[in-house]
Structure formats: structure tokens, C-alpha cells
Amino acid sequence: MNRFLRKLRGVLGTGLTWGVLWAAIGLAVGLIVGVVDPDSIDPGEAPIIIAAFVGIGGFISGVTFGTILSIAEGRKSILDLSLSRAALWGILGAAALPLLAGKIDQLIITCPLGALFAMGSVAIARRAQLHDANESKLLTDPNR
């Protein structure tokens, strides 16, 4: 698979992962608010609707993060990327949609989520790369 398609797959995979996880968070918050303070939920704000909107925001944030990461750190190995730099790119990715939509008050929620999800994404990718490297060493070890 050529380099562009691999990067595109990574960006879309990151967006899909973030979208699903953000939707789960939105659903949980909607359910908790529905139990704790049901009067604060207006008609049309069912937990599943909240989850859908939050999930779409998570997908867009994940794609934005993946794109920024691909451009800014494209030549580096995931093993060379610090978690603090990943968090920075995650904050920028998660801030893009609220800034474009003029919803500045949402930055207090999206930016920390972006940082956490970015660090988690990089940590998981780093672990997978290390696992693959160790597995290939085992396969090529003549003393095995």
C-alpha cells in the first residue's frame, strides 16, 4: 500500500476511533444528566442524540488530529514522538471544530479530551509498533 493510502487509513481510523469513544462519553453524560436532573433535558435532547452530535465532533477532531500529526510529524517514527507533543496536536485538533463553529465555550471540554485521546492514540500505536518489532525478532531468531 502506498504511503498516501496508509496515512489516509490512519487518519480515518483515528477519526473513527475518536468518534466512537466520544459518542460513548456523550451517551454516558446524557444518561447521567437524565437520571440526576431530568428537567434540564429539553425535548430532542435524548442521550442518543447527544451521543450522535458528540460522536460527530469526536470524528472531526480525530481526523483533524491525524492530519496535523501526519503533516507535522510525518517523517518521524511514532516511537520518537513525545506524549506532550501528541497532546499539543490533540488540543489543536479538538479545538478546530469549536473555533470554526464559534462555540468558544466548548473548548474547555474538547481540548482536554483531545489531549487525552491524542496521548492515548500515540501510546497505543507505540505499543503496537514495539509489539510488532519484538514479534518479528522472534520470528527471525535462529535460536528460537
pLDDT digits (tens, 9 = 90+) for 36-74: 988 888 888 889 999 999 999 999 999 999 999 888 887
Cell of 21: 469513544
| pLDDT above 90 for 79 | no
What does the pLDDT look like over 86-120, one tens digit per residue?
Answer: 999 999 999 999 999 999 999 999 999 999 999 99
**C-alpha cell read off for 105:** 465555550
Q: Are 45 and 70 in contact (CB under 8 A)?
A: no
44: left (phi over 0), alpha (psi -120 to 50) or beta: left
For 72, the grid coordinates are 507535522
* pLDDT of residue 136 exceeding 80: no
Model pLDDT, residue 144: 54
